[in-house]
Amino acid sequence: GRVEVPRSVTAVLGQDVVLPCRYRAQEQEQVVQVTWLKRGPGTVPTEVAVLNPQHGEHVQDPFVGRVLRHGHGALEDGAIVLRN
């Protein structure tokens, strides 16, 4: 399979933005978890959110209330919304 994400996403200060992420699974593949990381130059990646249908969605404390899953259903669509 392969992960499909846009090269860039434009956000407007003070508005919500969707960060798309789609996985095109091959036959017999199933997405069981999606993990979002925040990366910055010269820093260690920080976990933002984990989407797991069996254990639920978990957003790390600094991002609670600002990061939500976009949509429902299968995790082939693992997009998130950054609020405000």
Q: What pTM does this model have?
A: 0.88
Domains of the chain: 2-82 (2.60.40.10)
| Contacts of 76 by beta carbon, 8 Å cutoff, 6+ apart | 22, 23, 24, 25, 31
Q: Is 20 left (phi over 0), alpha (psi -120 to 50) or beta?
A: beta
Instruction: For residue 41, give Cα distances in angstroms to 16, 17, 21, 29, 61.
Output: 24, 22, 21, 33, 22
Statement: residue 56 has pLDDT above 90: no
List pLDDT tens digits, range 27-53. 889 899 999 999 999 999 999 999 998
